[in-house]
Each structure stands twice: as structure tokens, then as C-alpha cells.
Amino acid sequence: MSEKTILEILKDNKDKLVSGSEIAKQLNITRSYVNKKVKELIENGYDIKTVDRSGYIYISEVRVLNATLIKEKLNKKKEVIILDEVDSTNNYLKNLAKNSTINNIIVIACKQNGGRGRLGRNFISTKNTGIYMSILIRPDISMEIAKKITCLVSVATSKAIDKITKLDTQIKWVNDLYLNGKKICGILTEGSTSIEQNIMEYLVIGIGINCYHQDFNEELIKKATTIEDEGDMIISRNELISEIANQIDYYLETIETNKFMEEYIKKSFIIGKKVELQRGNIKMNVKVIDINQNGELVVVDEQNEKQVFSSGEITRMVI
Ligand code: BTN
């Protein structure tokens, strides 16, 4: 018996209690099989309340990833693939990019077992609590402009989250998004270049967003949060994914104008702040005075010398 049939019975009785034995009887299956299948549905994001010994109440499917719903809201046609589990959606698309000419495709995973962050870190990607997505594009842009894509994607993602949640996300240089002082989103952009032609061959934009409440470990709980915890809301990941892709397309069309950089600077919360900046193994205390039109960090160091950095990691705010 397919889980869809159990799902259909539950959906037909939305907000009402349906007993496990009733479902089992209708479908001629065992009570324990119903129980197992309902558990799977819950794991896949269906909001089904289990009432002890009595049965189940179907509430909603707002948490369920759905490629059709994502495609419907895209301004520019793209292929959308949803994977149950993968090591990393960035790895998946990088392999595809190397071995084909595919362009404009979004891959989303319910769960990543090898999610990667910047600087070789892990990105925890617990099943169906967040968005783990990558977009493959082959933009016709020079290397100079391609360097700014990271900032462009940060702005686009930040704007998309704000639009869907009505919250006010901020950017921590280079590409972390924060809500109320804690991280909710990380971005990892990877690409391959054709040095001879000075152009990008392909770009894989990886975005990870903490959407629904999860029990972070002791270390993460101090630094990370979720949209649900900060906004007290359950968003539709489908809507947010489409909006992110639309915002990225919008800013890519106007990339030559550098318009996104104005927005990037407006949303950056570290300008004027003293921070600890890590570059390789070296850490230094600096005061951020600006982010320039190339997206570089302009700082004054402890010797009062002005310095400009195009890469690095802000490891903490200095009080
Ligand atoms: C960071 O916080 O340093 C960047 C995190 C990027 C995570 C996303 S999730 C989808 C894509 N696949 C990955 O393995 N990483 C990115």
C-alpha cells in the first residue's frame, strides 16, 4: 500500500482525528504499518499530530519540499531537483557541471551528510530543518565581476528572506546572514574559470538556511539561530527557494551597474565596529571603516594603518 493513500485519507480529514485502526481497516494493512508510514511522512515534513493511542491529525504540509511549487514561482525557467539525501548539493552540481553543459539548475537536499562551509568547515544539515540548495549558472562575465558574486548572492538571499518573513536580516562580511546577532544562513560559492579566456566556466552557488527550530549543540546554540526561533513562524521553504532564485536572477541582470553593492553595504552590520579578523592563521584586531565598491573590507589596524582585504573571516566582535 502506498504512503500516498494513507496521506490522502489523512488529508481528506484535515484537522480531524483519524484512528490508526480505521486507516488500517480501510487499506487492509496492519496498524503497525500505518504507524511506520505516518512516521515517514512526519520525517518528510508533513505536520501530522500523533495523538497517543487514538490516532493522527493532519495539520499541514507547509514544511514539505515540492519541486512543482518551486518551479511555479520562478520568474526564469529552471530545472529543479529535490534529493532525499546527498553529501553536499555543491558537490553534486560541481560534478554535473564538469561532465555536462547543463545550466540553470537548482538542486535541493532534504538532508546533507557532508554539507560544507567556508574554510573547510562542516555545515550541519539536519533532515528537513533547513534549506540546503545549490544553483548552477554559467554567467557570461569577466573574472573581475565574478569576484563580486559572493556579495551579490548575500544581498539576494537576504532580500528574499526579508520579503518572505518580514524580518530584517543583516550581512556579516563576506557572506553570512544574521538575525538578532546570530547566524541563520551561510553561503559557499565555488566555480571554475577559464584562465585563457578570463571568464567563468561555471559557478555553483550553495546556500544553507536554518529554517525550523532544531536543537543545536552547545557550541552552535550561542552562534546560530533559525527563522522559526527568531520570527515565531513556519515558512514555506518552496516559496523562499523560488524567491532566492528570482532575486539572484534580478541582481545578475544588473550586475554591471554594481547596484547590489549599495544594498550590500546598507545591510552590513560591521561597518564602524571593532572586530577580530582572521586571515590564514593570523588574527588581528581592526576597526572596520568601510566596505568598498569591490566588496573589500577597509579597516584601520592596531598601528592605525589603513588596510584593504578581499578575503578573511570576522571571527568575533571586539567590545
Ligand atoms: C558557511 O557557512 O561557511 C557556508 C555554508 C554553505 C552551506 C550550503 S548548504 C548547500 C550547499 N552545499 C554545501 O555543502 N554547502 C552549501
Q: pLDDT tens for residues 24-78?
A: 999 999 999 999 999 999 999 999 999 988 899 999 999 999 999 999 999 999 9
Burial of 273 per CB tally in 10 Å (0-12, 13-18, 19+): middle
Which residue's entry shows cell 544553483? 135
pLDDT at 156 over 70: yes
Distance 207 CA to ligand 1 centre (A): 5
Q: What is the largest CA-CA distance in the chain?
A: 78
Predicted TM-score (pTM) of this structure: 0.94
HEC string of the chain?
A: CCHHHHHHHHHHCCCCEECHHHHHHHHCCCHHHHHHHHHHHHHCCCEEEEECCCEEEEEECCCCCCHHHHHHCCCCCCEEEEEEEECCHHHHHHHHHHHCCCCCEEEEEEEECCCECHHHCECCCCCCCEEEEEEEECCCCEHHHHCCHHHHHHHHHHHHHHHHHCCCCEEECCCEEEECCEEEEEEEEEEEEECCCCEEEEEEEEEEEECCCCCCCHHHHCCECCHHHHHCCCCCHHHHHHHHHHHHHHHHHCHHHCHHHHHHHHHECCCCCEEEEEECCEEEEEEEEEECCCCCEEEECCCCCEEEECCCEEEEECC
- Does the structure show a pLDDT above 90 at 8? yes
Name the nearest CA neighbour of 239 among 211, 203, 204.
211
Ligand 1 pocket (Cβ < 6 Å) reads 88-90, 112, 115-118, 121, 123, 132-134, 186-188, 206-208
Residue 139: pLDDT band (50, 70, 90) is very high
* Ligand 1 site-directed mutation target among 123, 134, 175, 314, most atoms within 8 Å of CB: 123
- The reported pLDDT for the residue numbered 217 is 93
Position 319 confidence tier, pLDDT thresholds 50, 70, 90: confident
Rounded to whole angstroms, the Cα distance separating 18 from 58 reads: 9
Q: How confident is the model at residue 198 (pLDDT cuts 50, 70, 90)?
A: confident
Instruction: Check whether 79 has a pLDDT greater than 70.
Output: yes
pLDDT of 102 reads: 96
Q: What is the pLDDT of residues 274-285, one digit of tens each?
A: 999 999 999 999
At which residue does the C-alpha cell 500505518 appear? 34
pLDDT reported for residue 279: 93
Q: What is the pLDDT of residue 195?
A: 67
Residue 4 confidence (pLDDT): 59
Distance, CA of 216 to CA of 302 (rounded, Å): 35
Check pLDDT > 80 for residue 14.
yes
Residue nearest to atom 2 of ligand 1 (CA): 186
Percent of the chain with pLDDT over 90: 90
**Tally of CB atoms within 10 A around 169:** 23
Question: Does position 247 have pLDDT exceeding 60, yes or no?
Answer: yes
Kindly state the cell numbers that stand for 95. Answer: 560534478
Task: Determine the pLDDT at residue 197.
Answer: 72
- Rounded CA-CA distance 22/284 in Å is 66
Q: Is the pLDDT of residue 201 over 60?
A: yes
pLDDT of residue 193: 81
Mean pLDDT on 312-317? 92
How many angstroms separate the alpha carbon of residue 188 from the centre of ligand 1? 5
Cα–Cα distance for residue pair 104/83, rounded to 1 Å: 17
Distance 12 CA to ligand 1 centre (A): 38
